[in-house]
Structure 1
Amino acid sequence: MTQTPPSSPPSSTYRLQLRPGFTLTDAAEVADYLRRLGAGAVYLSPILTAAPGSTHGYDVVDPTRVSDALGGDAARRELVERLRGLGMGIVVDIVPNHMSVAAPEANPWWWDVLEHGRRSRYAGHFDVDWASGPLLVPVLADDGDGGAAALQELTIDDGRLAYFEHRFPIAPGTGASGDDPGEVHRRQHYRLVSWRRGDAELNYRRFFDIATLAAVRVEEPDVFAETHGEILRWAAAGEVDGLRVDHPDGLCDPGGYARRLRSAFGGWIVLEKILAAGESPPASWPVAGTTGYDALREVCGVFVDPDGCAPLTGLAAELGVPTDFEAVQNECRRAVATTVLAAEVRRIAGVLESEEAEPPGGAPPERSDPGAPASGASERIEEAVAELLAAFPVYRSYLPEGEGHWSEAVRRAGERRPDLAGALEFLDARVRADARGELARRIQQTSGMVVAKGTEDTAFYRYTRFVALNEVGGAPERFGVPPEEFHARAAEREASWPRAMTALSTHDTKRSEDVRARLAALAEVPGEFAGAVRRWSREHGLSEPSLNLLAWQTLVGAWPISAARLRGYLAKAAKEAKLRTSWVDPDPVFEEEVDSWPERVLSDAELSADVAAFADRIRGAGRCNALGQKLVQLTAPGVPDLYQGSELWELSLVDPDNRRPVDFAVRRVLLERLEGGWLPRVDATGAAKMHVVRTALHLRRDRDLTGYRPLAAAGPAARHALAFARGAAHDVVAVATRLPLGLEASGGWRDTVLPLPSGSGRWSDLLTGRDLAPDSPDGYTTPRLSELLDRYPVALLLRRPD
């Protein structure tokens, strides 16, 4: 490799979702298109060897090799060569928290642990509670017998223990030809148990509640070295410029991990850290910042009309949808802590008991069986742990640095459960006595799991008042973001985290940026939407209120959508909400109602036409919002990421819908026309969005956008303009239209003007190519917004020297 890697950080990134159908070789083939679009770096989903058939790469089974299914290391090197030749960088997503154990034979480390138990050289690589007995593997079917009948299905196949398609190792000396499979199983270092026992009894830490993803102890230097060796080899060769770190909150010590990674890697590092509204990353972490869900909340929220809050809240209440977000969130978090994450809660309580301290009410009894029910003081401790985990104001505190968040969680838990005051005081005292000890660490690791599963994956599917706000890192209880708050947060990002990533759509978002942009328009016509939902619900309403309101918003937001896509989305949403059905406790009758709903609605010609008419009513406003939020994200402080395909309109829903193949051929054709000077209309092709994206990305790549200055419009429609200046001389200005339906209803821009920063030179709009006439000989320019935004609802201004 002879080329010099581009400097860090990149001007922007373009996220590609690799899979067997779109490999590293395919990425190299679209690199030229991405360069012409204006992207500074290609940002890849995980490329290390993942579980067989993986479609996303987060289920790594071998961190020492590039995935053969993606083309292997040769294809990776060819991609790097291609990008270097184009002057582009490369950013790779890495997964330090967990590895896949779904197919044990595919993961050599896990296979060795199963075979040799505590004597395995990899026994310390995984976060296993070895003191609790054999490693529990929850794979057996359970028809209410605890998996007893399934154990009779075990066989010996080619020297391995077999349960249907699953294969497990047999420890040396524990099996012989002709042995009874059940007897061989009882001699192993592991126990195959009912899948239902995983949530309450599992004795290895997982990724959230997914038993097939086992947590890795990267806090150990040798484990870090082995899991990161291949990645750091690329870095040493100058073949990677940035790393996106998945789920750092699950790590033992995220700050310590960040410092260790920084000592080994000098490039751009961003963490997939979810921040609460107003929260910032710990200042001591030597990283560029987060992957941008905080910016997503701010950018999307500023295009939401706060006047829609009361009417949409009233509609939700009328339909029977809960409207107290805090109550819903508390209920969901508590339920998660006491059910799907009960094993983690029990392990925390076990750590406390092992310290031989006497909690209020007497010493807890010993439990030799990790699955045995708690009693007495032990039960009180588990209740206190669960209540505390549900009470955190952020995803995770970082003791001792985040002591304030810890104290707030203890205070909230005590207010909600005064009967647990003694146990909470005891727990608080033990954590404060050793803020870096195992008890403190495990509580912090688990709080993020409870918040994510309880809030994002449950409450966001129950509290469906206005789902444009129900996004990763979002705050649905806050109805949008005032412009003043947006400007304050943008200025803070520029001052403190200017190299953090910003995003609008990702592989984890629950709906794409363009769906949210269209839904934002509902807040401007809440009465019309409420009337429509009442009509539609009378004809084909779902019997569960929260899902019913979610379904109509989804139908309008993603219209037109196929029955198959809508069916898959609603099936997942119903299970995530855990109200009438769930992943672990399905209700076939309700699921059939949900499954048949899309066909019933779409085959009703009259109702379908009504939905289409309503979608047409807000489609233009949705496109206006989409262009506005895209321009704002691409020009505001931070390093903007563009999710694959979102340079055109992209009306995707939650995964796997948002991982559908991208038609790059269509995009190439449109890009060629734009390169020829075409100024597209704002229409169904989405070319206008590509025009905004291309123009902004090229500007970012060509100019160093530093500084941030809010700009205020003046006149009767001033509240409908969002504008700011960038650059050391404030010579770049972004202008976007807010609340377009309200703007139209009030008579348009009329005499509203936007005073631009003073200075020598002439302003030009890069989107239209037009120059702006100065108002005076000294160059002072105050354009009328009715003229500036007559072709597009956004403008990107550059002041050029005379």
Structure 2
Amino acid sequence: MAAPTSTYRLQFGPHLGLSEAVALTDYLVDLGVGALYASPLLAAAPGSTHGYDLVDPTRTDPGRGGERARLALARRLAEAGLGFVVDVVCNHMGVADAAANPWWWDVLRHGPESRYARFFDVDWSAGPLLLPVLGDDGDGGVAAEGELKLADDSLVYHEHRFPLAPGSGHGTVAQVHGRQHYRLVSWRRGVADLTYRRFFNIDTLACLRTEDPEVFGALHAETLRWVREGQVTGLRVDHPDGLADPSGYLRRLRAAAPGAWIVVEKVLGAGEELPAGWPVDGTTGYDALAEISGVFVAPAGRQRLTEAAGLTGTALADVVREAREQVVATMLVAEARRVEALVAALLPRCPAAERADAVRALLVEFPVYRSYLPQHRWALDEAVERAARRRPALRGILTAVRDEMVARPTGPLAVRVQQATGPVMAKGVEDTAIYRHNSLVAVNEVGVDPGRFGVSPGELHATNAAREAGWPATMTTLSTHDTKRSEDVRARLAVLSELPEAYAERFRRWSARQPLGDPLLEPLAWQTLLGAWPIGPERLSAYLLKVARETRVRTNWHDPDLAYEDGVTSWPARVLADATLTAEVRAFVDRIAPPGWSNSLGQKLLQLAGPGVPDVYQGTELWDYSLVDPDNRRPVDFAARRRLLAEIDAGRTPRVDDTGAAKLLVTSRVLRLRRDSPGLFRGYRPVRAEGGAAEHLIGFSRGGDDGVVALATRLPVGLAERGGWADTVVPLPGDAGGWVDVFTGAPVRSPAPRVEDLFGRLPVALLVKKRGS
């Protein structure tokens, strides 16, 4: 299985089609990329901006260019020697537009008799399929039936169209509706009454029974054809945790694509590893993101930042538990009820209220996204013990549930519990808790343990060594389409951990002058302004509205508090219209931006040169100060990147400034070296400095004594405060010399050079042996 030397993620959609990507191939080659890594390419809902709302797996999405453009791109990539990695959506399909999804349309038309009825995870024993689409009429959707119409052998509700069962179209609209295999109900009933499994809490994404070989075959036939014909070299599997049997699915996928590089989207908990025996090359890299970004955060700043945010005495564990309890009780009721019904069958004499309490407690206390029984039983045991300690009276029920799951790991109870724990973790932690505990939002990220504030160099070395030994072809990343903020926003905000007093004093004054009106959201708002600066009021308003609803305290997606939201969305314009205040903000950004650039270059080097297959998210080869999607799907100015790269290749040595050219230099030089000399990037050994500022250097060597040495600056504010590197040196591996810095071309003549000399131009260095030395 040949892994690419690196990948470059492109987000296909309205701003970028497959034909445009053909023209980008030469730029990717110049950058040093090993493979293009594409967002989903199969037919998605009309107008989809991301492609994860798959509607037809048998054809390339016409909105992204269609089959002809896909073939042209595959041929061009092959000619250029680049791999082609595609995103595989295996868990769900988009059903917002029923007419756009042939499988779903057939299910609605023919019900349980449809050839696709068992493709979807539907409980047909519960009666007609409930579709929560009717408006909020306060009457469970009944009154809204009056807005239904009949047209073109369909039932029509505003822009929505639904098929009629054969021979059912006579009579009144209500009579016709009553004859269908589905019922159109209030959108509010999706929270609790769904009769189909959905992706997280999204009613418009219906989950599939991919464990069925027929479903697997139909869903993957087109993608696997691309693999067989050599057009696709790698697969990125989206959300395998939602499947009934992730291990079995991955074994089937590997058997069907034996030569492909396969990575899975998997958020690993603290100390968690992929299940033994999974026939994949690794994850999509959130584990590496957490470690690499964390090494640039100063733990000493935690207490003051926590005080500034008004969170002193607020235990993060309690915030997480409260958030998870809330999402189980309000957003994922249908999922919990599905488990409760199975527990009722197991324990029919147990009071219903106690069964429900036990199920909720089990889901809330699960320590990771899911177990993979019989593997990772420890997660189930830990969840049961946690829940039983908090609710001793439920221990008997919890124990019985655990014992049934262990005895029948592929049984319905085990499957449903394991499918439910992931959504609880994702919605409770990623999309709620980390928006409520805003001491330093740089550490509030997908895949990052929210209770962890900073990573020591020793911890990073240990995880890097383990990655090289166990998962050398896993993907690593710093930014993805799902991260809450880009790598450069996090790098700049990490500087606040070194300047907690300076930030806290400004935060106090600024929030008094232009209050947001929500103490919980206020720290996040001001840190976002600093981290993404310069940012216009429209972008910041859209972001804050999304965050406010995700926080689920003063408002939410289902029941928005419009008055409160108006105060939140008008805040950016008020702040940015305050000339005195914005001058202070700009001045503080000017202070934290240079050390933020140092952090950005450092984490980029550690990722690109470190173990694993590094991914570069589109546009992040320059400074990129994007926020959560859809902000991070904005068009990328590739023309500007081409020009800058050409200037660098012509001999320009960029300074570390706001152009981002220094980041492009680092990115292109490491990627090219990985592509042209992959043997230099095998093995792993820490490299440590000696002297007064040794703690400010993080480095490692790869490829043995004649390989490469990657060196980066960490905690640059503290370094400057102590007077710089002074007498600090870094002993290099191997013999006396012969090294040269790839970024600057400067020779290194000493076996233990002064760090100050190495970092004369940039806060990072990548050393290689001179040819022939």
Q: TM-score range by the shorter chain?
A: over 0.9
Partner of 2:332: 341
SS in 2 for 1:9: coil
> Quick one: distance in 2 between partners of 1:659 and 1:323?
35
Give the share of equivalent positions with the same residue, in percent: 57
Correspondence 1:233 to 2:225: yes
Correspondence 1:308 to 2:301: yes
Deviations, residues 31-67 of structure 1 (Å, cap 9, x unaligned): 1001100000001000000001101100000001001
Correspondence 1:254 to 2:246: yes
Correspondence 1:755 to 2:748: no
Partner of 1:450: 424
Give how far 1:421 is off: 2.0
> Quick one: distance in 1 between partners of 2:276 and 2:585?
48
Partner of 1:773: 749
Partner of 1:370: none
Partner of 1:368: none
Deviations, residues 569-620 of structure 1 (Å, cap 9, x unaligned): 0000000000100001110110010011000000011111111111111010
Give how far 1:519 is off: 0.3
| 8 Å Cα contact 1:709-1:730 kept in structure 2 | no
Which residue, out of 719, 723, 726, partners 1:743?
719
Which residue, out of 295, 315, 331, partners 2:322?
331
Q: How does 1:617-632 map to 2 (within 5 A)?
A: 617-632=591-606
> Quick one: distance in 1 between partners of 2:189 and 2:263?
36
> Quick one: distance in 2 between partners of 1:489 and 1:617?
32
Q: How does 1:165-314 map to 2 (within 5 A)?
A: 165-176=159-170, 179-266=171-258, 267-314=260-307
SS in 2 for 1:571: helix
> Quick one: distance in 2 between partners of 1:482 and 1:758?
26
> Quick one: distance in 1 between partners of 2:464 and 2:314?
30
SS in 1 for 2:366: coil
SS in 2 for 1:274: coil
Give how far 1:277 is off: 2.2
- Report which stretch shifted further, 625-634 or 16-25: 16-25
Correspondence 1:109 to 2:141: no
| 8 Å Cα contact 2:737-2:748 kept in structure 1 | no
Q: How does 1:388-537 map to 2 (within 5 A)?
A: 388-537=362-511
Give how far 1:640 is off: 0.1
Question: Where do 4+ consecutive residues of structure 1 move more than 4 Å?
Answer: none
> Quick one: distance in 2 between partners of 1:516 and 1:76?
35
Give how far 1:383 is off: 1.8
Partner of 1:606: 580
Which residue, out of 566, 574, 590, partners 1:616?
590
Give how far 1:432 is off: 2.2
> Quick one: distance in 1 between partners of 2:492 and 2:391?
41
> Quick one: distance in 1 between partners of 2:705 and 2:120?
53
> Quick one: distance in 1 between partners of 2:161 and 2:312?
46
- Give the letter for the 2:555 counterpart: T
> Quick one: distance in 1 between partners of 2:24 and 2:208?
34
Give how far 1:426 is off: 2.3
SS in 2 for 1:201: coil
Give how far 1:731 is off: 2.0
Give how far 1:790 is off: 1.1
Partner of 2:759: 789
CA-atom RMSD in angstroms? 1.1
SS in 2 for 1:546: coil
Deviations, residues 507-526 of structure 1 (Å, cap 9, x unaligned): 00000000000000000000
SS in 2 for 1:156: strand
| 8 Å Cα contact 1:136-1:203 kept in structure 2 | yes
| 8 Å Cα contact 1:322-1:328 kept in structure 2 | no
Give how far 1:134 is off: 0.8
SS in 2 for 1:152: helix
> Quick one: distance in 2 between partners of 1:382 and 1:234?
46
Give how far 1:433 is off: 2.4
Give how far 1:420 is off: 2.0
- Report which stretch shifted further, 494-503 or 65-74: 65-74
Which residue, out of 347, 351, 360, partners 1:358?
347
* Uncovered stretches (5+) of structure 1, i.e. residues with no partner: 1-6, 364-376, 775-780
Deviations, residues 142-197 of structure 1 (Å, cap 9, x unaligned): 23222222111111011100111110011012122xx2111111111101011001
Change beyond 3 A, Cα 1:321–1:311: closer
SS in 1 for 2:386: helix
> Quick one: distance in 1 between partners of 2:234 and 2:272?
24
SS in 2 for 1:545: coil
| 8 Å Cα contact 1:631-1:692 kept in structure 2 | yes
Aligned length: 769
| 8 Å Cα contact 2:344-2:355 kept in structure 1 | no
> Quick one: distance in 1 between partners of 2:165 and 2:396?
47
> Quick one: distance in 2 between partners of 1:730 and 1:452?
44
| 8 Å Cα contact 2:134-2:187 kept in structure 1 | yes
Give how far 1:623 is off: 0.3
Which residue, out of 82, 85, 103, partners 1:88?
82
Partner of 1:17: 11
TM-score (norm 1): 0.95
* Uncovered stretches (5+) of structure 2, i.e. residues with no partner: none
> Quick one: distance in 2 between partners of 1:476 and 1:609?
32
Give how far 1:322 is off: 7.2
> Quick one: distance in 2 between partners of 1:751 and 1:723?
17
Which residue, out of 547, 559, 576, partners 2:521?
547
Correspondence 1:56 to 2:50: yes
SS in 1 for 2:4: coil
Which residue, out of 125, 138, 142, partners 1:144?
138
SS in 1 for 2:87: strand
